Structures are given as C-alpha cells and as structure tokens.
A and B are shown apart, each in its own frame.
Chain A
Amino acid sequence: MKFTLKIWRQKNATAKGEMISYDVAGISPDSSFFEMLDTLNQNLVMTGGEPVAFDHDCREGICGTCSLYINGRPHGPVKGVTTCQLHMRSFVDGDTIHIEPWRAKAFPVIRDLVVDRSAFDKIIQAGGYVSVNTGGVPDANTIPVPKEKSEAAMDAAACIGCGACVAACSNAAAMLFIGAKVSHLALLPQGKVEAAMRVQKMVACLDELGFGLCSNTYACEAECPKGISVANIARMNRQFIGAKLFSEKEKTVRDSL
C-alpha cells in the first residue's frame, strides 16, 4: 500500500511548527501504524532527514504512551484501540493521512508529535492514591469487596492515562480521565476513606492546569481506547458536590497540636 502523510513537524517546544507532506510506499496492510511510521523514519534517516518524533512504548495497548490525532480522531478511525493497535488495513490504499499531536493548553507540544502529558501526573499526585502505613502485607480478602463494586472499579481502572479524552474534547477537558481515577478508588473500601478529600484535591489541581470545562459532548467516551464510561464523570460530580456540601474541613497539623 502507499500513502501520503501530512505530519505536524515542530523542532522543539518553542519553535513554530507546520504540516509537512511525505510519501510512503510498499506498506503491508498487516503492518501497524507505527511500523508504517518506522518505515517513513527509516527512509528519512537514509536520506539525511530528521525522523519524526512520536511517543510509543509497549505497542500493545496497555501503557498509554502512544497518542496521535489521525484524520481528526485521537488514536485513529478504529473504536476502542490505541494507535499502537491500529493497522494499515484500516485505511484505503492511496489515502492521505493527517497526523497531528494532541492539542490542549495543558499538553504542550515538545517536539513533532510528542506532547508533555505530565499534567496528568500532577492530578494523580494531588490525590489519586490510597495512603497506607508501611508494615506487613495484609492477607488477600481480609477486606470484603462486593463483586459488582470490584467490577465497576476495574472498569474505571482500565484507564491508561493516554489523554485521548482531552484530545477529542471540543473543550480540551480532562473529565473522563479524572472521573475514572476518582471512581476506581472511591468504589473500593480501601479508597473510600479518603474519597471526599481526594476528589476535592484532584479537581482543584485539574483547575490549575488549564484544562477546559466539560460540556457533556461525550466525544471522550467515543474515543477512549479503554471504553471508560461517562457515568464515571457523573460519579465524580456527585462525590464532589457531596464533599463540598457535607465533608468536614480538613484539619491542618497546627489544628491537631
């Protein structure tokens, strides 16, 4: 197969970028999207050009490192897969494929198709954890978890933090991501203890990072490679409203002295 690629090239975070056109030929329909890009980069290196920088790691849809906004859709045209799981048979021979980085104020472009997603790390650092004291490893099943709850928590925990939800959202909002992270902890007994504090801290952090505000278009759910449901956003909203209205003011160290 052969393709015309229009790819966003940008030297570094401050440089002005532009879409550049490339041709690739001799691509097998069974090769993955990244193998196709590898072929392009090989050609570029052989002819003295700069290879295109793009994020990837596991190449099997579990790490959340890959991105790419392909022909107007994050992770390309196939539903429920990451870009690394996309194959060239999903395109028509001779197609022109537009490849852009995620676009959001909170995800600045570092180079070509690579963006800085550390905003997500900051949100997790703000509260996306369960505090435990160190000590012996507790026995499994000492804390009973109802089956439905553990299933729902697992569904939310499937989020790989890729950022496709932000990329797809017309408001560049990160609500599906944070909704998934808040939900998967709050649904389990271990995470419930800190739930009210967690949701407030994570939302406060989110607001500082320059993401947009959700207008419930649900583009995120449609594009999420892990099928995270927007019901998680509602669960977070519910918890946030509850926490704001009913939770006690957090004690500072000085208060407890």
Chain B
Amino acid sequence: MLLYSSITKKVFMALAGLFLISFLCVHLGINLMLLKDDGGRAFTEAATFMGTNALIKIFEIVLFAGFFIHIFFGLLVSGQNKSARPSPYAVSNHSETAPFSKYMFHTGIIVLIFLAIHFFDFYFIKIGLVAPPPGVPAHDFYHRTLLLFSSPWYSLLYITCFVVLGIHLNHAIQSAIQTLGWNHSKYMDAVKVIGSVYSCTIAAGFTLVPLFILFFRR
C-alpha cells in the first residue's frame, strides 16, 4: 500500500470516502427517527435491525474497511505532502483556492476524534468493551442518546463536529469526483452544487437531533 502510485492512493481514498458519504445518509435516516414522538420505538427498531441483520453485519466489515482505507491513506498522503515542502515560505500562500480545501487534514482529524468519542459512546458499549452508564442497558441506544444530549456541552461538541464534517464533505465530494477523473465541463458545476447541498443536508440533519432533544424533549 505504501508503494502504490500517488494517483492510486488518492483513488482508494476517494472511493472509500464516497462509500462513507453514502453510509452517512443511512445513519442520518435512522437518527432522524429520534424526532418521532413514540418513546423511541422506531429508532430502537431500526437500531436493532442494524445490529442484528446478517447482511448489515457483513456491511459493517466493509464499513470498517472503508474507514481504515480512508484514514490510512489520508494520513499517508498528508505525511507525504508535508515532506514535499521541507522549507516553508516566509510569507504564507495567498493563492485563491477552493473553499477550505487546504484544511482537509485538520477537519479530517477533528472528525476522526469525534469518531473515537462516538465509538466509546455507542459501539464499544454495544460490543461490551466499555461498561454502559448506570441505569441504561447496553443495547438501549435510545436512552443512551437522550442522556448524552441532555448535556448542552456534549450537544455543542456534537454540533461543532458535524459543522466541521460538513466543511470536510463540501470539498470532499467534488474532490473525489475530480480524482476519479470525472471532471467534465458539462456537469462539474452541478457536481459542486450537489456536493455542497449534500454536505449542508448532512450537517443540518445531524445537528437537528441534539437541538430538538435539548429544546423539546426535556
């Protein structure tokens, strides 16, 4: 993997990234069920389905592989890029660039930290690596979520992370398309718009849940 050509590394990153982006959509769909006023029935049902269905279990492995490839190549490429300019400029660069595109590493690291927190909060509890908080059974994601979002600080952290993810995705989608060589004068502008709309939807959708719980479910 270390010896792959520069373009191959980026193609892997792009494909894994696009897969992760499609997964976010599914995750958002399940999260939005929390907004339903049914005592968490729909949400729990969906969570149980995701946790037990055999096909989903296989997909879970693919998902972890996606995370691994994207993060591994992301770190590798960033390291290589750092070493490509050993002596920096005295005046920092003023060139016009795609919005926030220079900060993909930084936003990526913040999302990675969030991912770690998220695993501790849910996945590790589910598989029994971490003890659940008192009074909440290991598989009760609904009450676990309510408990977490009852803290305004946690909600703020969560919202911040999703805004950062939105910024990451805004560049990521059109960047992946460009890396895969699908840049074309006919539709590249549309790709950029769709990418921005998608990333805003993801950021707004995930943010809606803690806000809703904070203000309407207390």
* Complex: chain A residue closest to B3, CB-CB: A207
Chain A residues whose C-beta falls within 8 Å of the C-beta of B178 in the assembled complex: 216, 230, 233-234, 237
A168:B6 contact, CB within 8 angstroms: no
Shortest CB distance A244–B (Å): 7
Residues of A within 8 A of B7 (CB): 203, 237, 240-241
Contact between chains at B6 and A215 (CB < 8 Å): no
Q: Would you call B84 and A69 a contact (CB within 8 A)?
A: no
In chain B, what residue has the closest Cβ to A232? B183
Interface contact A105-B85, CB-CB below 8 Å: yes
> Nearest Cβ distance between residue B34 and chain A, in whole angstroms?
35
A213-B9, A217-B102 given; A103·B83 CB < 8 A: no
The answer for the CA separation of A8 and B179 in the assembled complex, in Å, is 35
Which B residues from 87 to 139 make CB contacts under 8 A with A?
87-98, 101-102, 104
B85 with A218: CB separation less than 8 A: no
- Which of B11, B88, B174, B188 touches A103 (beta carbons < 8 Å)? B88
The segment out of A46-54, A123-131, A170-178 that lies at the interface is A170-178
The answer, among A19, A71, A216, A234, for a CB contact under 8 Å with B182, is A234
Q: Number of residues in A with C-beta < 8 Å to the partner? A: 47
Contact pattern, A 212-240, Cβ under 8 Å of B = 1, otherwise 0: 11111111001100000011011111111
A91 within 8 A of B: no
- Cβ-closest chain A residue relative to B96: A222
Cβ of B53 under 8 Å from chain A: no
By beta carbon, the residue of chain B nearest A72 is B94
Q: Which residues of A contact B95 (CB under 8 A)?
A: 72-74, 168, 219, 222-223
Minimum distance in angstroms from A52 CB to a CB of chain B = 15
Q: Which residues of A contact B185 (CB under 8 A)?
A: 231
Q: Whose C-beta in chain B lies nearest to the C-beta of A73?
A: B94
Which chain B positions have C-beta within 8 A of A206? 6
Contacts of A236 in B (CB 8 A): 181
Q: Is the CB of A235 within 8 A of B181?
A: yes
**Chain A residues whose CB sits within 8 angstroms of the CB of B97 once the complex forms:** 170, 217-219, 222
Query: Residue A88 at the B interface, CB < 8 A?
Result: no
What are the residues of chain B within 8 A of A105 when measuring CB–CB?
A: 83-86
Interface: A112 (CB within 8 A): no
If A73-B93, A170-B102, A241-B180 touch, whether A216 touches B175 (CB-CB below 8 Å) is: yes
- Decide if A153 is an interface residue (CB 8 Å cutoff): no
**Chain B neighbourhood of A214, CB < 8 A:** 6, 10, 179
Task: Determine if A44 is an interface residue (Cβ-Cβ < 8 Å).
Answer: no
Contact partners of B182 in chain A: CB under 8 A: 234, 238
Q: Is the CB of A217 within 8 A of B181?
A: no
A9 / chain B contacts, CB cutoff of 8 Å: none
Chain B residue contacts of A219, Cβ below 8 A = 93, 95-97
B80 lies within 8 A of A212 (CB): yes
Interface check B52, CB cutoff 8 A: no
A203 B85 Cβ-Cβ under 8 A: no
How near does chain B come to A215, taking the closest CB pair, in angstroms? Answer: 6
A 94-109 to B, binary, CB cutoff 8 A, 1 in contact else 0 = 0000101001111000
Is there contact, CB below 8 Å, between B5 and A203? yes
Residues of B within 8 A of A13 (CB): none
Contact A103 B87 (CB under 8 A): yes
Q: List 13 additional A-B contacts (Cβ < 8 Å) besides A19-B90, A214-B179, A215-B101.
A: A103-B85, A103-B89, A168-B95, A171-B84, A172-B81, A173-B84, A214-B10, A216-B171, A217-B97, A230-B178, A234-B182, A235-B183, A237-B7
Pairs across A and B, CB under 8 Å, 12 listed? A72-B93, A72-B95, A100-B90, A103-B89, A170-B97, A206-B6, A207-B5, A212-B84, A217-B101, A230-B178, A233-B178, A240-B5
